[in-house]
Amino acid sequence: MPYSTAFGDHFYCRTDGRLECDHVFLGGNGLPQRWTRDGAFQIGELGFGTGLNLCETWRQWKESRTPLGFLSFTSFELYPMTAQELDRALIRFPQIDAEREALVALWPDQPKGTIALDLDAQTRLTVVCGPALTGIRAQDTTFDAWFLDGFAPARNPDMWSLELMQALHAKTSPDGTFATYAAAGFVRRNLTASGFQVERRKGFAGKREMLCGTKA
């Protein structure tokens, strides 16, 4: 299991990180149902980590996208892994072998700055390395859906601050959505205070609650 010594937390759910992605981030944002229309769809993610969310999202996107659809997946990551580390973390999920191999093959030897990868003709990955708040404020686009996947709020409170949630809300399209496994009270309050309509839902693998919501 990949583990961050900087934050004292695992990178994904120890039960099944891939199924957690499906339940929390895809399901919480109403995906892939929202991919039935043509045009571009923008996903933003806090914490690229092992790339697991990207790979599972890309897998489902390929199965459901329209011929004229385009997915832009932008992630904000302070400590990017090496290609070898990504490969080692993802190899335990055979369902995303094709996506893992493609990502690892394209990943730069020294990940830093802004990493922009054309995964296929209808999918583009951008990883902005550095503090999330700085990266989000510098974006010149708005996002249709957010995956809020920073480390546990108790271990990484900066990733769930009111200032960051306000910046994120400002970069969200009208009727845009977010989803997160986190359900801590201060996270919910910060999301609400930033302007999101917040909903509690059943969490994954015995976790009582998760949060999702919409920019009205």
CATH (domain of 34): 3.40.50.150
One digit per residue, the tens of pLDDT, for the chain of length 216 reads 665 566 555 555 566 789 999 999 999 999 999 999 899 999 999 999 999 999 999 999 999 999 999 999 999 999 999 999 999 999 999 999 999 999 999 999 999 999 999 999 999 999 999 999 999 999 999 999 999 987 567 777 788 999 999 999 999 999 999 999 998 899 999 999 999 999 999 988 778 899 999 998
Residue numbers of the domain that contains 25:
3-215
State how far the alpha carbon of 92 is from the alpha carbons of 18, 86, 96, 124, in Å. 10, 11, 9, 24
What does DSSP assign to residue 168? H
Q: Which tokens sit at 66?
A: 């329209």
State how many domains the chain has: 1
The pLDDT of residue 88: 93
What does the pLDDT read at residue 212? 97
Closest CA to 215 of 199, 195, 191: 195
